[in-house]
Amino acid sequence: MNLAIRRWLPAPALRTLVLFAIAALASLAFVLLAEEVHEGAADRIDLAAALAVHRFESTVGDAMMEAASFIGSYTVVIPVVVLTSALAIRQRRRRAAVILALDTVAVAIANWLLKIYFSRQRPTLFDKIPLPKSFSFPSGHSMCAMGIYGAVAAVLISLYPRARITVLIVTTLLVATIGISRIYLGVHWPLDVVAGFIGGVPPLMVAVYLLHRTSAPRTTSPPP
């Protein structure tokens, strides 16, 4: 049975199908969540979750969450992208560097447009740090964490396959902590963060797809 499936749908085609299915499901989930948030149907959930996260407030927690939030800002994200791109170029993987750059631009522009479209106001429950002047939905830090740091991880895995597990674990923890930090610091509603994570999935899947295409070995037909 497995052999029959492999013959009917080769591994590259199956991978492509899975990646684009994930991207499509994430897009649908984002639309459904955005509709609930826009109509105010999820306000109670947001408030309860925000208060629950804030119960873990502490001096150490403040420092950790501010550090995580800083790591999720463009002040750190851009240099990380540049450094990763430089590593790719050094290993003669220029296309990987281009893919990462395009992914970064796409995520940043998409988040900016979505914020303007939904124009959701930020929470004013806590005053850990000054509220940014931009809108709240979806969280830019969370979307960048998933969409950009996820793509950075994909590039690093393509460059250093043996470090796959380590890169995946570190990136997962980093992405989750960045998202939680935005709720803890009171600059985003919890569903802003969830939407940011979901919104970062489609560009990440496209980046992974393109990386696999550029790294796949080319087959040459034997001479006649």
Q: What is the pLDDT of residues 96-133, one digit of tens each?
A: 999 999 999 999 999 999 999 998 888 887 777 777 88
Place of tokens 């959701």: 120
User: What's the CA gap between 224 and 222, in Å, rounded?
Assistant: 6
Q: What is the pLDDT of residues 159-212, one digit of tens each?
A: 998 999 999 999 999 999 999 999 999 889 999 999 999 999 999 999 999 988
Q: Is the pLDDT of residue 158 over 80?
A: yes
175 and 150 in contact (C-beta within 8 Å)?
yes
Write down the mean pLDDT value for the chain: 87
Q: Which of 53-57, 97-101, 113-117, 140-144 has the lowest mean pLDDT?
A: 53-57
- CA 112 from chain centre, in angstroms, equals 15
Q: Which of 30-34, 35-39, 95-99 has the lowest mean pLDDT?
A: 35-39
Domain ranges of the chain: 11-215
More confident residue, 12 or 142: 142
146: number of Cβ within 10 Å? 27
The confidence band for 41, taking pLDDT boundaries of 50, 70 and 90, is: confident
Residue 7's pLDDT is: 53
Q: Is the pLDDT of residue 2 over 60?
A: no
Confidence (pTM): 0.86
Q: Is the pLDDT of residue 224 over 50?
A: no
Scored b (16 or more CB within 10 A) or e, 43-80 reads eeebeebbeebbeeeeeebeeebeebbebbeeeebeee
